[in-house]
């Protein structure tokens, strides 16, 4: 069988699994996020937190609850990192330095999971389990909670701006959605060869007659939520290229499915929450179009051979695991950057120039195809509002979506949301390029060196977490600056979306009329895809031209 047909077969299997799970999983998440009952374990948690899960919150109170929870999480994770050598199961790991602890705490709380350190050389087992793995669950649940609040804003009519209860949304998303799926995934991964133990370093004899120190750990449990929650932080420095995290081509395909599973089910949940399943299908079509295009382009770039990778025989295998090959590595790279996962099974710094450009563009799209848990669909809904607004301008009608008018205040919030991420990426990159501390981290100069820096800030600003691989980012300069980029890239858009949800909930729903723009048709899907690409193109084409495009042509 040719390599091309193997690549098509892998993509086909992933698509079939996602298609089979889209409806049942989307319906299940809808029932969870609209449930009026509380499980016994949830009620116990509410008593500990001293909150009333049935008390509806206005968007501002919802936001303050979210920010308070996130701040407490940052402080707790920072403390665990600084005191790691005093903790049980530290396996000899020392404390993280202040800048490194700050970066790690912010990274995992914002669902970015950017890692400046080597996991097996810096993080003990308790820090991994009680700190990083816990944040893998709750940071993903925060994204799901904000999406539910936005959906309620569209579905409610003439209220006082209440959009749900943050604590109830957080707990339900964690206990009923993420935890059960992660348990099943961890058992499957452990059965497939991913390690799960509490062993420290063990000396083993190599085939060459030498000795090597090998670290064990609770990897399968962390690997499961790492992919399901679109987190991406690896237990080992090699991340999903490490045989203990991702031992076979079969587990590699499963990892891709896990990172896409919940994000591709979100449109179904959203369509049911707003009372129009057709909207969910339209969003799914737009997301799928962009994802398939990215996978196809990146696969072509990595399998094209000497034309794109000088010196490659039949493909670009530098920086890739032989057990995966170009096609599986390209599928993984496209999926991890089109979501907010950030896990890697190959060195992105070794991707061909156009392949690296596709991975970079996937993040620059705002990770909306399908994006992270909750956050991807939020970004797509914001772009839908932009598309509706532009269409309204073209035909001279007041734009509306799901019966809600898009006026001055709504479009202002949307515009600020759209501009936040590019501002974080471009300003952060400019600061790094203009300072000696920033340039000192480059492995290479020229267009490729520019791509290394821009990729880092695109990864941080979009809460992705994947690294190009060539940039030395474990310095006080990059730890501090990238930490700020993660905070702004995560919480400013959340604040704007919740404000938008509150305004929409106060609006009365307008019935569809003859002048209402249909937002469930193939024509609108095409408009939405075009708007997504044009918004990104107008913003990032100059920096892409100076980086991957110049490198491709040189």
**Confidence class of residue 220 from pLDDT cuts 50, 70 and 90?**
very high
- pLDDT(125) > 60: yes
Give the chain's mean pLDDT: 92
- pLDDT(81) > 70: yes
Residue 522 φ then ψ, to 5°: -60, -35
Q: Is 243 exposed, middle or buried (0-12, 13-18, 19+ CB in 10 A)?
A: middle
Helix 446-461 / helix 476-506 crossing angle, nearest 10 deg: 50
CA-closest candidate to residue 377, choices 465, 455, 282, 257: 282
pTM for this structure?
0.94
Which pLDDT score, from 0 to 100, does residue 351 have?
Answer: 87
CA-closest candidate to residue 349, choices 223, 482, 434, 459: 459
* Cβ proximity of 377 and 267 under 8 Å: yes
- pLDDT(313) > 50: no
- pLDDT(308) > 70: no
What is the DSSP code string of 401-422? Answer: ETTEE--HHHHHHHHHHHHHHH
Q: Compute the average pLDDT of residues 356-385.
A: 92
* Cβ proximity of 100 and 119 under 8 Å: no
Which pLDDT score, from 0 to 100, does residue 142 have?
Answer: 98
Which pLDDT score, from 0 to 100, does residue 229 have?
Answer: 95
- pLDDT(292) > 70: yes
**Confidence class of residue 512 from pLDDT cuts 50, 70 and 90?**
confident
**Cα–Cα distance measured from residue 399 to residue 418, given in angstroms and rounded to the nearest whole number:** 18
**Cα–Cα distance measured from residue 268 to residue 276, given in angstroms and rounded to the nearest whole number:** 10
**Cα–Cα distance measured from residue 554 to residue 310, given in angstroms and rounded to the nearest whole number:** 12
Residue 172 φ then ψ, to 5°: -65, -45
Of all residues in the chain, what percent carry a pLDDT higher than 90?
73
**Cα–Cα distance measured from residue 176 to residue 180, given in angstroms and rounded to the nearest whole number:** 6
Structure tokens belonging to residue 17: 């699994």
CA-closest candidate to residue 454, choices 494, 482, 479: 482
Structure tokens belonging to residue 279: 């909207």
- pLDDT(446) > 60: yes
Query: What is the tens place of the pLDDT at every residue in 254-275?
Result: 999 999 999 999 999 999 999 9
**Cα–Cα distance measured from residue 373 to residue 228, given in angstroms and rounded to the nearest whole number:** 8
Q: Is 550 exposed, middle or buried (0-12, 13-18, 19+ CB in 10 A)?
A: middle
Which pLDDT score, from 0 to 100, does residue 201 have?
Answer: 84
Total Cβ atoms within 10 A of residue 508: 11
- pLDDT(416) > 80: yes
Which pLDDT score, from 0 to 100, does residue 2 have?
Answer: 62
**Confidence class of residue 121 from pLDDT cuts 50, 70 and 90?**
confident
Could you say which DSSP state residue 215 is in?
A: E
62 Cβ partners below 8 Å, 6+ apart?
Answer: 149, 163, 164, 165, 166, 498
């Amino acid at each position: 069988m040719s390599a091309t047909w193997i690549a098509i077969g892998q993509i086909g299997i992933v698509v079939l699994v996602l298609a089979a799970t889209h409806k049942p999983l989307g319906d299940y998440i809808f029932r969870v996020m609209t449930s009026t009952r509380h499980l016994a374990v949830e009620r116990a948690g509410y008593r500990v937190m001293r909150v009333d899960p049935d008390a509806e919150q206005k968007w501002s109170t919802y936001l303050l609850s979210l920010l308070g929870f996130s701040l407490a999480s940052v402080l707790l994770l920072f403390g665990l990192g600084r005191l790691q050598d005093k903790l049980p199961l530290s396996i000899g790991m020392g404390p993280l330095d202040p800048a490194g602890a700050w970066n790690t705490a912010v990274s995992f709380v914002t669902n970015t999971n950017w890692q400046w350190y080597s996991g097996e050389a810096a993080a003990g087992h308790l820090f991994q389990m009680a700190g990083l793995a816990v944040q893998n669950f709750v940071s993903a649940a925060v994204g799901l909670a904000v999406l539910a609040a936005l959906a309620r804003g569209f579905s409610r009519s003439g209220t006082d701006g209440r959009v749900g209860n943050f604590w109830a949304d957080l707990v339900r998303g964690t206990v009923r959605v993420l935890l059960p799926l992660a348990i099943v995934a961890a058992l499957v991964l452990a059965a497939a060869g991913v390690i799960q133990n509490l062993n420290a370093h063990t000396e083993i004899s190599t085939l060459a007659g030498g000795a090597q120190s090998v670290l064990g750990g609770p990897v399968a449990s962390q690997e499961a939520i790492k992919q399901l929650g679109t987190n991406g932080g690896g237990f080992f420095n090699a991340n999903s290229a490490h045989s203990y995290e991702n031992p076979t081509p079969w587990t590699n395909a499963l990892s891709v499915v896990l990172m896409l599973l919940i994000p591709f089910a979100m449109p179904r949940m959203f369509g049911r929450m707003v009372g129009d399943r057709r909207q969910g299908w339209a969003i799914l079509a737009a997301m799928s179009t962009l994802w398939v295009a990215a996978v196809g382009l990146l696969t072509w770039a990595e399998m094209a051979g000497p034309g794109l990778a000088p010196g490659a025989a039949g493909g670009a295998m530098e920086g890739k695991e032989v057990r995966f090959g170009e096609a599986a590595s390209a599928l993984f790279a496209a999926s991890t950057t089109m979501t907010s996962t950030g896990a890697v099974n190959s060195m992105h710094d070794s991707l061909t120039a156009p392949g690296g450009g596709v991975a970079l563009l996937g993040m620059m799209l705002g990770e909306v195809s399908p994006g992270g848990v909750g956050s991807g669909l939020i970004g797509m809904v914001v772009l839908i509002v932009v598309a509706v607004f532009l269409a309204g301008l073209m035909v001279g009608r007041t734009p509306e979506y799901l019966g809600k008018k898009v006026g001055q205040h709504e479009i202002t919030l949307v515009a600020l949301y759209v501009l936040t991420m590019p501002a974080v990426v471009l300003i952060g990159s400019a600061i790094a390029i203009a300072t000696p501390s920033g340039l000192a981290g480059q492995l290479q100069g020229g267009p490729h060196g520019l791509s290394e820096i821009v990729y880092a800030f695109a990864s941080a600003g979009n809460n992705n977490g994947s690294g190009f691989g060539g940039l030395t980012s474990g310095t006080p300069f990059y730890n501090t600056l990238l930490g700020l980029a993660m905070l702004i890239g995560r919480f400013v858009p959340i604040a704007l979306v919740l404000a938008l949800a509150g305004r929409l909930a106060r609006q009365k729903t307008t019935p569809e009329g003859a002048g209402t723009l249909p937002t469930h048709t193939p024509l609108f899907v095409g408009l939405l895809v075009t708007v997504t690409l044009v918004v990104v193109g107008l913003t990032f084409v100059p920096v892409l031209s100076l980086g991957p495009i110049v490198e491709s042509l040189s």
